Structure 1
């Protein structure tokens, strides 16, 4: 979004200072009993992997809140808001909660990835940045892309049938 160095610095500082509202939609494996919740497992600044999503070394607070939008036979569609910004935070928290993001090559199970690829012709990740809001020098800027990518929407709709 930045077109010059000053804008890049300004926007970077907003993100680093937690002054940007960020929301995502995520298609995750499994079902949720409660309509709302949060994940607050501390995470390292660098990404972990499938076997160690928390990461190694010093962990710092991380907060992800979610709201269930819809559920199919095998998946749940979540609206997610980030309150901290750790690398792969949503993907790591979802994995730790036992609900990895659908199609996630780093934190998802190899078996699920193979099934999605061979049986569903799905080769995407079910994570979509849908909303950004921040104060700019000229006022409030809101960017919104509410629809999931078509291949993710297709997989979810097919699983509802």
Structure 2
């Protein structure tokens, strides 16, 4: 099934048409792979059992096997009402007004609560600091317009009200937000600059991972420029044109230059260079203020752990 075969008619209703290659695939496995959210197969199976999933208008069991042309409809149930607790977690505020807050997220901090991370997140810290965040993304992700991975450091913006949220989300959709990253990658990148234009989707071998694939994928573009070359490593500046999950990490692996310290997409050993998490930092964030229209741009210096690794490389 290509992404063009997905039909979405409301915020919680999703529809797909199964293609020939899906024939014989279990409905729970199919839905786990095509859903964009981080949803477990166990959760999908429960939705099927509870009647939230129909095939050709009829409820089915989790082990139902698809046929070519089946119409699959998921009525996503509303999330449980969970109360998020504000937590007095220190955060580095780069900019703040009544509409927007920009923070420099440290490596190791999860952006919003999720299974396995019920607290200690940036959202918990923001709720304590701001008191007012937009509610568009629901109770678990108030104010969150975009995300960066737990082990990626750097700039992230959040909305304090729905007007700001809608404006920032539209700017992201229109690719007008300026997002630049610094990354240390394995190998000597031969070109001074270039573009990786390769679609990204879930890895069919492991649904928790992403990969370059034509199947169930979305358009993804990353521009890169070499800042400095070392013997076995290269420091890059990367500019996102799109914002897919794990985009930079997947694209760098795809071109044969995975990020140093990446526990998922990188090599198991880094030949003496050690990082706790991938060497990726969201260094520049620019956008139009949602109320005033003013052009804003912010920069965050490279974190100490990346600086230390570069200093080691310069002495080799």
Shorter-chain TM-score above 0.5: yes
Q: Deviations over 1:128-160 (max 9, x none)?
A: 001111112321111111x22111111121012
Kept in 2, the 8 Å contact 1:73–1:160? The answer is no
Instruction: Report the CA distance between 1:90 and its aligned residue.
Output: 0.6
Matched, 1:12 2:169: yes
- The 3 A distance-change label for structure 1 pair 134 and 73 is same
Structure 1: which 5+ runs fail to align?
Answer: none
More helix by share: 1
**Structure-2 change in CA distance of 1:152 and 1:60 (3 Å):** same
In the alignment, what sits opposite 1:74?
232
Larger Rg: 2
Which residue pairs with 1:158 in the alignment?
312
Q: Select the residue among 251, 254, 264 that pairs with 1:93.
A: 251
The 3 A distance-change label for structure 1 pair 47 and 126 is farther
Find the partner of 2:278 among 125, 129, 150. Answer: 125
The correspondence of residues 126-145 of structure 1 with structure 2, limited to 5 A, is 126-136=279-289, 137-138=291-292, 139-145=294-300
Task: Verify the 8 A CA contact 1:47 1:87 in the aligned structure 2.
Answer: no
Distance 2:228 2:277 in 1: 20
Native 8 Å contact 1:47 1:88 kept in 2:
no
Is the Cα contact below 8 Å between 1:27 and 1:76 reproduced in 2? yes
RMSD of equivalent CA atoms:
2.3
Q: Please identify, of 127-136 and 1-10, the stretch whose mean Cα deviation from structure 2 is larger.
A: 1-10
3-state SS of the aligned residue for 1:85? coil
Shift of the 101–120 alpha-carbon distance from structure 1 to 2, 3 Å rule, reads: closer
Look up the match of 1:109: 267
d(CA) in 2 for partners of 1:72, 1:109: 18
Relative to structure 1, the CA distance from residue 62 to residue 3 in structure 2 (aligned partners, 3 Å threshold; closer, same or farther) is same
Contact persistence 1:28–1:101 (CA under 8 A): yes
Instruction: Note closer, same or farther for the CA distance 1:130–1:71 as it changes in structure 2 (3 Å cut).
Output: same
Return 127-136 or 57-66, whichever deviates more: 57-66
TM-score, normalization: structure 1?
0.84
Which residue of the partner structure matches residue 192 of structure 2?
A: 35
> Is 1:26–1:78's contact at 8 Å kept on the other side of the alignment?
yes
1:21–1:132 Cα contact (<8 Å) kept: yes
